[in-house]
Amino acid sequence: MNRSWSRRSRQRYVPPRPRSVWRRLVDYALTVIVLGLLILLAARLDRIETRKTEGAAVINDGDTITLGTERIRMRGIDAPEYSQVCRKAGADYP
């Protein structure tokens, strides 16, 4: 074993100084402010996407709805179309 390794000076671990009470209060206040702003931003973005439509809802297909005069097509849904025939083991069923 190399003796030069054991001759190195070993430094003692010095823990960091504890923060003052005022510094901790400022840190907590900034955290609360940032979280509050994020919550307000999320609520605002959620409100922007919302819209109201009135009228009778009619289901056209498995993934299409007509609400009043507006036709709404749902994405991400793999539903059968109105005139589509489903088959299981060679036999049709509704």
- 91: amino acid identity, one letter: A
Q: Please answer whether residues 36 and 56 qualify as being in contact, where contact means their C-beta atoms are separated by less than 8 angstroms.
A: no
- Domain residue extents for the chain: 57-93
**Burial (0-12, 13-18, 19+ Cβ within 10 Å), 61:** middle
Torsion of CA 43, 44, 45, 47, to 10 degrees: 90
pTM for the predicted model, two decimal places: 0.39
pLDDT in tens, 19-52: 899 999 999 999 999 999 999 998 888 776 667 7
Q: Tell me which of 5-9, 21-25, 69-73, 87-91 is least confident.
A: 5-9
Q: Please, which residues have CB within 8 angstroms of residue 7's CB and are 6 or more apart in sequence?
A: none
92 and 86 in contact (C-beta within 8 Å)?
A: yes
